[in-house]
Amino acid sequence: PKYKGIYLSLILRPKITPAASPILTLLAAVSICEAVKEALDLDVQIKWPNDVLIHNKKLAGILTEMNAEVDKVNFVVIGIGLNVNNDKKSLIAGATSLKEQVGRQISRILMLQELLRRIETNYSLLEDKGSQVIIDKWRSFTITLGKRVKVYCQHKHIEGQAVDIDEDGGLLIRKDSGIIQKVMSGDVM
């Protein structure tokens, strides 16, 4: 809806391999969390890989698409949808907005500026220091790790305890058999 949320696509040209590109989804999620914390002092959490939540309600989502060759990423488009001034009646079940959380209108311009600042800072950190700094930040916001999860991907599901993420942003799940399986995408329950 007009004037309600922040919906943007950002084109990046990272010097990473295609296999490492999922880190950019985590970078976007961390940047949203940091921007909301800085602008409104709200505690925001990340559900792996691309949902940003407040009080277990979805505040933002991220979709990342890539154009790449075998060994080189040409560009990545990060799509971000952040519910800012959306009214409760316009939100789907299980979603929330910043306005719903603080009880007043939020400046979308100021929120967008803070979000872009955070993305730029984290992107520079990724380029200068590698993915570990982003992963460490992501861990500080996650609600996924340490929990029993079911991940639905490619018409099957994997169930177990979410134990960590690896350097590429893949979720590591310890199945009941004790085997650890890496998942790169899917819907986490």
pLDDT along the chain (189 residues), means of 10: 92 94 95 98 94 97 95 96 96 96 97 98 96 95 95 89 91 95 90
CA dist 79 and 34 (Å) reads: 17
What pLDDT score was predicted for residue 27? 97
pLDDT value for 106: 97
65 close to 76: Cβ distance less than 8 angstroms: yes
d(CA 94, CA 71): 39
| E strands in the chain | 6-12, 45-47, 51-54, 57-68, 73-82, 148-153, 156-165, 171-174, 180-183, 187-188
Q: State the Cα–Cα distance between residues 39 and 34, nearest whole angstrom.
A: 8
Sheet holding 57-68, edge to edge: 6-12, 73-82, 57-68, 51-54, 45-47
Give the span between the Cα atoms of 109 and 18, in whole angstroms: 33
Residue 100, pLDDT score: 97
Given this model, what pLDDT does residue 49 score?
87
Q: What gap in Å lies between CA 37 and CA 14, rounded to an integer?
A: 26
pLDDT of the residue at 186: 87
Please give the pLDDT value at position 181. Answer: 93
User: Is 176:159 a contact under the CB 8 Å cutoff?
Assistant: yes
Please tell me whether residue 186 adopts helix, strand or coil conformation.
Answer: coil
Which pLDDT score, from 0 to 100, does residue 118 have?
Answer: 98
pLDDT the model gives residue 3: 87
pTM: 0.94
Which residue reads 């990342």 in tokens? 64
